[in-house]
Amino acid sequence: MTLGGMSLAPWLRAELGMPAGGKPPMRFIFMHKGNGLFPEVMVPPSLTGEDAAKEKAKQAFAVELSGHELPEWMRPVAAHKESLTILQGLSGMMCTTGHHTWQSSLGVYRANERPSSIKWATVDFELARLFPSPFEHIELACFPDGGGNARGNIEGIDVGFSARGAGQPNYAFGSPKVAMRELFKSVAADRDDQTKYALERRLLEFTAGRETALSAGMSGSEQEKVAQYAEAVGEIRRRHERVDGMAEAIRKHLPKLDAKYFADGLTTLDRQRGHAEILLSTLITGMTNVVTFTVDELGTPYTGLPGLEGAGPVNLHDVGHGKSVGAVSALEVRAAVRTQHMTLVDTIIARLKAVPEGDGNMFDNTMLFYFPDNGETHHSNGREWPFLVFSGRNAKLDIAGRYIRLPGHGEPGHKTLGNWYTTILNAYGNPIRHFGDLDMGLESRKVPQVGAIGDFLG
């Protein structure tokens, strides 16, 4: 058994015959979207005149959501309002913004298509290391069909929006079919799949040994590259060993997944729903405690949106430039996309609430973040970066059930993505002084921007 140091759910430790591990691990879900997220669509329509004036002026205030209506597109998550935070006023001007942003929104630095632009591990990986699991971290994506991350590899495995470390992009599963095949092959019922898995294990053993020996005869950057590759192969081998040790428990608790989610030519909505099922499977079975899910990117060809099924793929880039789709305005298309995302969030939270854990349920030990990968608009400059946060009962941030407007960019008390991620990391045990690059514009104006948001730590 090689799982002793893993933060596994209590039920899974019992299934594996391991000693009780105390509190369940925290789990984190990062769901991000392309094409920006307008701050104005985040605002409760029932704000008082005084608060509405503060909102318009981007002045700091907070109100309890229990006394307010949610925006129409958030109605699918109304049942979870007590767990919801609508967080406004963060900025990310130190990030890459615009059409494609790569690892910027999770790493808080300017990134591009070159791995050398990746400065350090993204925040989701840092959290995964605080709550270890057999797979450490899993990333799912509805890739674009051209440009940006993945460059058209919609059905495959390709560069995602997360990073394991400096110069090390993570890889994301582009379809539920390939995710199911790769993540759950150790418990495959099909004899051919079992044979392929056994052959892969042997190939990995051979490759790891060969590359390690090869690196010994090299020097400098070439040796480093080969050594990194050998380490990556070795980590895959170790992951397989960890999962093999829990195969029976995983098999018992695998949800039944509809075959339609593994078909070729999925609509975007079915691809998203299938990914949500994979996400839930990996969390509930204890394979990971952190999942990052790109629900769409600017170049994702949207199909299956209610009312637009016959319109062909919806071009989000055109929508970003205000173009309607038939008789449906760009703003209405944007709202339909966001509503679809909220149905996914509702599915995820409701399912986690249905899984008993400790004296409550799995959602009690979960945080879910929904945010844009490029800031406030289609052509964002990063002055605002809206977030929805859903916090379970045992989350360590004191923000649930509120609409929070932080001071606008450049104003006293303004906070950045770096402050936000520092707060989350500090709350869960990483004492980092500050996560991410600084905003040089704020630096020149001597606006303090290092450290956590103290008010959120309770």
pLDDT at position 211: 46
Encode pLDDT of 312-359 as tens digits. Answer: 899 999 999 999 999 999 999 999 999 999 999 999 999 999 999 999
Mean pLDDT of 266-270: 92
pLDDT classification of 184: cutoffs 50, 70, 90:
confident
**pLDDT surpassing 80 at residue 110:** yes
pLDDT classification of 264: cutoffs 50, 70, 90:
confident
pLDDT at position 148: 78
pLDDT at position 212: 53
Among the residue ranges 146-160, 222-236, 360-374, 443-457, the one predicted with the least confidence is 222-236
SS3 sequence, the chain?
CCCCCCCCCHHHHHHCCCCCCCCCCCEEEEEEECCCCCHHHHCCCCCCHHHHHHHHHCCCEEEEHHHCCCCHHHHHHHHHHHHEEEEECCECCCCCCCCCCCCHHHHCCCCCCCHHHCCCCCHHHHHHHHCCCCCCCEEEECCCCCCCCCCCCCCCEEEEEEEEECCEEEEEECCHHHHHHHHCHHHCCCHHHHHHHHHHHHHHHHHHHHHHHHHHCCCHHHHHHHHHHHHHHHHHHHHHHHHHCCHHHHHHHCCCCCHHHHCCCCCHHHHHHHHHHHHHHHHHCCCCCEEEEECCCCCCEECCCCCCHHHCCEEHHHHHCCCCECCECHHHHHHHHHHHHHHHHHHHHHHHHCCEECCEEHHHHEEEEEEECCCCCCCCCCCCCCEEEEECCCCCCCCCCEEEECCCCCCCCCCEHHHHHHHHHHHCCCCCCCCCCCCHHHHHCCCCCCCCCHHHHC
Please choose, from the candidates 76, 155, 45, 78, the residue with its C-alpha nearest in 3D space to the C-alpha of residue 337: 76
Q: What are the angstrom distances between the C-alpha of 57 and each of 36, 51, 117?
A: 21, 10, 36
pLDDT at position 91: 98
pLDDT classification of 204: cutoffs 50, 70, 90:
very low
Mean pLDDT of 203-217: 49
pLDDT at position 150: 74
Q: What is the mean pLDDT of the chain?
A: 87
pLDDT at position 195: 42
**pLDDT surpassing 60 at residue 208:** no
**pLDDT surpassing 60 at residue 198:** no
**pLDDT surpassing 70 at residue 231:** no
Encode pLDDT of 428-443 as tens digits. Answer: 999 999 999 999 999 9
**pLDDT surpassing 90 at residue 155:** no
pLDDT classification of 147: cutoffs 50, 70, 90:
confident
pLDDT at position 328: 94
